[in-house]
Amino acid sequence: MSGTVGELFGGSGRRVRDVIWGDVPVDRAVKALLETRAMRRLKGMSQRARHTRLEHAVGVYHLANLTLRRISESGAYLEDRDVRCALAAALLLDAGRYPYAASVEGINLPGAPTLKELSRRWIEHDDVAKVLRSEWDLEPHNVFRLVSRGDQPPHSLTPTEHLLRDILFGSLNVAGLDRLIRDGRGARVPYGLLEVEPLIERLRIVGHENRAILALDEDGAGMLQSLVFSRYLMHYNVYGHHALRIPTAMFLRAIQDAITAG
């Protein structure tokens, strides 16, 4: 690996303090991206329990870092540029989200841009694009291809891009792992006490239908069961709790009335 990727994998002396993961190593490129308008915007957006989307972005970046390091050490070949692209995408995964995204993005807002369109704007046509080119040596569109959400993945993805999107959106996606732990801690429930680092250490790459996909070693089966059960308990007892569902319904009705009123 190059010196650049070595820094991204923890060689940098700079740290960002995170309440869940402790001191997260960052280098100059990461710091520059955190200071863009797109990322500063997330600092004011609360998410579910008691954290912001910026804190979640740092957590997703950290877990993506651990995952990429693990699969690289397991023998999978990744170009330096692929690693940088995946880490930038992890930081920018929520760049296009609306405030109160869990509610707003589930309804059709007349004339409002979609999540995919907003993500493209923030990544390809803002100061993020300048930072990606100057500090990360990346084309913004390639980062957007990894971040892009939709019913179908972007066309003409390379096998490596499919793997990187699996890290971001697959069954063991790093965003879901961070959200589970962070929400469990914020809601003060025991369902998010999963040991994520040992789970990541049991990841490996296997071939399936001419593609490389994430899998777990056999001794990680118990941890996977714990993850599935923890997700079920969180959705049933926290996300589906009436104290959350009632104000969400009221909020959606307020949006509906506002649209009707022009």
**pLDDT of amino acid 171:** 87
Q: Which residues in the chain land under pLDDT 70?
A: 1-13, 47-50, 150-155
Q: At what angle do helices 159-169 and 174-187 cross, to 10 degrees?
A: 10
Hey, what are 103's tokens? Answer: 């509610």
CA 38, 15, 196, 209 torsion: positive or negative? positive
| Residue pLDDT, tens place only, 217-245 | 999 999 999 999 999 999 999 888 998 88
Please state the pTM of the whole predicted model. Answer: 0.89
**pLDDT of amino acid 4:** 47
**pLDDT of amino acid 192:** 72
Q: Which residue has the tokens 């909020």?
A: 251
**pLDDT of amino acid 7:** 52
Q: Residue 42: count other Cβ atoms within 10 Å of its Cβ.
A: 22
> How many residues are listed for the chain in this entry?
262
Distances from the Cα of 223 to the Cαs of 20, 60, 173, 250, in angstroms?
A: 19, 19, 15, 38
The DSSP secondary-structure symbol of 8 reads: I
On the CB side of 104, CA atoms within 13 Å amount to: 16
**pLDDT of amino acid 86:** 96
Kindly give the pairing relationship between strand 14-18 and strand 211-216. Answer: unpaired
